[in-house]
Amino acid sequence: MAAYGGYAAHRVVSTCPICGTEVREPAENIALQISPEKGEFWPDALECAGGFMGLYVASHVKETLDNAAIKYGRGFRAVLARPYLKKLQRSVPPSYFYLPAVLGAKLDFAASGYRIASTCSRCGRIRTDAASEPSKYKLIEETWNGSDIFYTDLSPVALFCSDRVLTLARENRWTNFRFVPPEQAHNYAYSGINYLAK
């Protein structure tokens, strides 16, 4: 199960005067839209493809992350919009949190197979050449700030996590996470680490 939209009024946190890149955050609860046909249980994690895109987790997952002192920045409350899953019309869905994560490391663009088209002189935003053929994600190790859920200067929606997060997902048997080793990042045939295997 995935969400196709996470919609809320937003506030602009910052705008780069050179390239115009805007950082936004929700100014109210996010209404999370799902396809009622797709799913048979309320998942512990959700990927959202529109509006506030990225990672959403159930509130009990956020609680466990917080108790384990996982560093991810802030969480914003999200509420599933009706219609609910067809198969679960009578059950109350969990509440979710949107975790936009934080800028936590720089990508090694060359080693990852990207050509850089431009770099903003003010905010550092990098635009890659659309003809690049990336082969993996390689971080510049010494730039990692210790965050457990983070993104890089490639894109705020390409999320990375430390293995502490994978371990918690495994121990708590959280559903619907998808973990991909950085060397498989561009292999779309790869379905993810089977973290719930016994």
Q: How far is the CB of 20 from Zn ion (least distance, A)?
A: 7
- The count of C-alpha atoms lying within 13 angstroms of the C-alpha of 107, restricted to the half-sphere facing its C-beta, is 31
Shortest spacing between CB 179 and Zn ion, in angstroms: 31
Given a contact cutoff of 8 angstroms between Cβ atoms, the answer to whether 135 and 185 are in contact is no
Dihedral (CA of 101, 105, 106, 111) sign? negative
Q: Are 150 and 55 in contact (CB under 8 A)?
A: no
Dmax over Cα atoms in the chain, in whole Å? Answer: 53
114-143 mask for Zn ion (x: CB under 5 A)? Answer: ------x-xx-x------------------
Nearer to Zn ion, 81 or 120 (CB): 120
Nearer to Zn ion, 19 or 157 (CB): 19
Contacts of 98 (CB under 8 A, 6+ apart): 6, 26, 30, 48, 52, 54, 55, 56, 75, 76, 77, 78
Q: What SS3 state is found at 62?
A: helix
- Asked if 103 touches Zn ion (CB under 5 A), the answer is no
| 16 or 23: CB nearest Zn ion | 16
Which of 71/125 has CB closer to Zn ion?
Answer: 125
In the range 12-51, which residues lie near Zn ion by CB under 5 A?
A: 16, 18-19, 21
CB of 81 to Zn ion, least distance (A): 34
How many residues bind Zn ion (CB under 5 A)? The answer is 8
Residues of this chain that interact with Zn ion (CB under 5 A) are 16, 18-19, 21, 120, 122-123, 125
